[in-house]
Amino acid sequence: MLAFSLPQVDPLSQSTVETRPKAVAAWLGRLPYASPADAAQQLLAALYALNRHPLGADERHTLLSLYRPVIVRVAASLETLLAESGVPPYAQQRQVGTLLRDLQRERSLGYKHLLMALTNQRFGRANPRRLAEFAAQVAAALRDLQTACFMTYTPPPAGLWQDLHQLHAYAQVSNVAELPTDGVPTTGLSYRQALLIALADPPHLSPVELAHTRLYLDRFAALAELTYGPVADHLGFPVSTDGDIAPTQVAAGGKPGSLWLDTDTLCRHVHETAVRLRKGETPEQVDLPPGMDHSLSLTLCKRLLKEWGTTAQRTYKRYPTAPDSTVQVVAGVSAIHRLLEQIPCTEQNEPDGSLPIHDVQGMFASPVAVNATVWSVTNDSAAGVALAGAPDAPLNLKVGDPLALHADAAPGWSLGAIRWIRMRDARQVELGVERLSPQIQPVWVRPLRGHRKANPEPALFLPGLAALKQSDRLLLPRHLYETGMDAEVLHAPHQYTLSFGRLLEHTPGFDLVDFTLIADEPL
C-alpha cells in the first residue's frame, strides 16, 4: 500500500478557495505570465490552499486538469530565469528557485490526494486508466522537483526518493507502470528519468548541461530498462529501494531479485551519437531534440557515457589539508585577466573602428580592483582541490567557470576550473576544482576573419609542460573560437599571428584550445 505524507485537510475549514471550474479557468487566464515570479506566487498560493481544502476526488481532478498546463508553463518560465544561475545565488534567483521547488511540490501533493483517494476507495476496483494517470502525474512532479533542486544546488527534500520508489513499486504491482497516459510520461519512464538524472552526477553539470541532459532523456530514456537482478555483461546499476536513497554508482546491490537499471542499450546510443557528432553531423541529423548544441552535446555525451556506463573511480588519491588551509579565488576569464593586468584606458581607434592591437600595451592605467574571495581547502590531490566557503556576496559561480587560485605559500596564481558545486544550506558552498595550469599569463586576442574590424578580447595563455608532453594553450572567452581561424595575439613583449587548432575543452565559461604559430613580431 501507498504511504504518502499529505497535508492535513480540515473538513471544517472556512478558508476561501475557488472551486468553480469556470471561475478558476478565467482566473488562470488572467495570471501575469509576463512576470513569471508574480504568476508563480499567485499560482502557488492557490494550489497551497486547494491541497488543504476538503474536496471530492472528481472535483479535485477537474480543477487539477485546469491547473496542470499552467503549472507546466510557469515552471518552464522560472527555469528560463534560472538558466544562468550559480552560487551563491542572487536574491532574485534564490526567490525564483524557491518558487520553482514549492510549485513542483504542491503539484505532486495534488495528485497524491487523487491517487490515495482512488487506492483507498471502499467499493469496486480502481479504474486502471485513472490509476495510471494519477501515478504518472505524481512521478513526473517528483522527477521535476528533484531536477529543480539540482538546478538550484539544494538537496532534494526528505522523503522524495522514498515516494518515488514506493510509487513505482505500486504501479508495477498494479500493472499500470507502463500504461500510456495523455500529456505525461508513464510512471515507469519518469522513474527511469529520475534515476538517470541522479546518476548523471548533477553537481558536475552546468545549468545548460543539465538542461541538455533532460532534453536527451525526454527522447531516449526508454532505452534504459529496469530488471530484477543484474544482467550479465551489461552496463547498469543496482537501485536500492529501501528507504529514502537516491541511486549512486557506488551503491551496494545486484543481488537476485533486487531492482537493477540496465543502461547497456542507452550507452550504446550515447556512444553512437558522440561518434556521429565527432564526424561533423549536426544534432538534427543524429535525431537529437531541438535546442541541443553541437559542441556542448558532444562534450555531454562523453560525460554521460562515463557516468551511465562505468563505475567512476578517482584517478588521484585525495589528502585532507590543515584546518586553517585557505586559498584566494577569482572567477571568470575577464576578472582573471584584470587581476593579472591593468585596465586599458580609452585610446583612438583605427579608421574602421577597431582597436590597434599593437598599441594595447601602452593603454594601461591604474589597476582595477578585483575582489578575491577566500576559501577553505578541505582536501587536495594532484588533479584538483575541494573548497568550502560562505561568501558574503552573490558570486554566481557555475560548473565550467575558470578560477585563478593563490595559496599563501605559492609564488603566483594558478588556473583551475569548477567541476562540481554543492550548497549545504543557504550560504555554505562547496566546490570541486580541477587544476588546469600552474601558471597563467594575460594576453589580448583579436580574431581575423578576413578583415581587421574586431576588437581585442581578454584571454589567458597557459604555458606548456614538457614533463607532461603538453603544448602551450589558450583559454578563450566562450564563443570566440572557430576551427582554423587566424588571430592576432598580444603577449608582451611579442605580438603573434597564429591559427586556432583543436578545441581541447568547451564549457559554458571558456574554450581551451591549442594553436599553430604563424608569425612572431617583437613589439
Q: pLDDT tens-digit profile of 427-456?
A: 789 999 999 999 999 999 998 875 556 788
Give mean pLDDT, residues 186-209: 94
Kindly state whether residues 94 and 119 are assigned to the same domain: yes
Kindly state whether residues 61 and 121 are assigned to the same domain: yes
Q: Where are the beta strands (DSSP E) in 34-163?
A: none
- Say what the pLDDT of residue 363 is: 45
Q: Which of 410, 437, 464 is the last residue of a domain?
A: 437
Kindly state whether residues 186 and 135 are assigned to the same domain: yes
Helix (H) / strand (E) element for 18: namely none
Judge whether 248 lies within some domain: no
Q: Which CATH number does the domain housing residue 368 bear?
A: 2.40.10
* N-to-C CA span, the chain: 79
Give mean pLDDT, residues 140-161: 94
Which of 8-12, 33-37, 137-141, 497-501 has the lowest average pLDDT?
8-12
Q: Is the pLDDT of residue 362 over 70?
A: no
Contact 3, 167 (CB under 8 A): no
Judge whether 473 lies within some domain: yes
The CA distance from 456 to 440, in Å, is: 18
Buried b / exposed e along 296-313 (16+ C-beta atoms within 10 A): bbbbbbebbbbbbbeeee
Average pLDDT score, the chain: 86
**Tens-place pLDDT, residues 483-519:** 888 999 999 888 989 999 998 998 888 999 999 998 8
Q: Is the pLDDT of residue 257 over 50?
A: yes
Which one is predicted more confidently, 233 or 308? 308
Kindly state whether residues 191 and 58 are assigned to the same domain: yes
Kindly state whether residues 172 and 32 are assigned to the same domain: yes
Judge whether 295 lies within some domain: no
- Say what the pLDDT of residue 512 is: 94
Residue type, 498: L
pLDDT more than 70, % of the chain: 87
- Say what the pLDDT of residue 234 is: 59
Judge whether 277 lies within some domain: no
Nearest Cα to 440, choosing from 512, 361, 367? 512
- pTM (2 decimals)? 0.82
**Tens-place pLDDT, residues 18-40:** 999 999 999 999 999 999 999 99
Q: Is the pLDDT of residue 349 over 90?
A: no
Contact 106, 157 (CB under 8 A): no
Nearest Cα to 4, choosing from 189, 164, 130? 164
Q: Radius of gyration over alpha carbons of the chain, in Å?
A: 27
Contact 450, 427 (CB under 8 A): no
Q: Is the pLDDT of residue 355 over 80?
A: no
Total domains, the chain? 3
Kindly state whether residues 460 and 347 are assigned to the same domain: no
- Say what the pLDDT of residue 352 is: 46
Q: Is the pLDDT of residue 14 over 80?
A: no
Judge whether 449 lies within some domain: yes
Model confidence at 342, pLDDT cuts 50, 70, 90, reads low
Give mean pLDDT, residues 326-353: 71
Residue type, 134: F
Give mean pLDDT, residues 233-253: 77
- Say what the pLDDT of residue 122 is: 72
Contact 261, 289 (CB under 8 A): no
Kindly state whether residues 34 and 127 are assigned to the same domain: yes
Which distant-in-sequence residues (6+ apart) come within 8 Å of 69 by Cβ?
none
Kindly state whether residues 464 and 410 are assigned to the same domain: no
Q: Which of 412, 437, 462 is the last residue of a domain?
A: 437
Contact 251, 238 (CB under 8 A): yes
Model confidence at 217, pLDDT cuts 50, 70, 90, reads very high
* Cell triple for 237: 546499476
Judge whether 122 lies within some domain: yes
Q: What is the distance, to the nearest Å, from the Cα of residue 89 to the centroid of all Cα atoms in its chain?
A: 14
Kindly state whether residues 63 and 1 are assigned to the same domain: yes
Which letter does DSSP use for residue 349 in this model? P
Kindly state whether residues 458 and 491 are assigned to the same domain: yes
pLDDT more than 90, % of the chain: 59
**Range(s) of the domain holding residue 330:** 319-437
Which of 124-133, 248-257, 403-412 has the lowest average pLDDT?
248-257
Kindly state whether residues 371 and 480 are assigned to the same domain: no
Kindly state whether residues 467 and 332 are assigned to the same domain: no
Residue type, 249: Q
The CA distance from 247 to 311, in Å, is: 12
Most confident region among 180-184, 332-336, 388-392 by mean pLDDT: 332-336
- Say what the pLDDT of residue 32 is: 97
Judge whether 52 lies within some domain: yes
- Say what the pLDDT of residue 271 is: 95
Contact 213, 203 (CB under 8 A): no
Judge whether 266 lies within some domain: no
The CA distance from 213 to 205, in Å, is: 9
The CA distance from 309 to 268, in Å, is: 9
Give mean pLDDT, residues 163-182: 94
Handedness of CA 137, 139, 144, 146 (dihedral sign): positive
Q: Which of 198, 233, 261 is the last residue of a domain?
A: 198
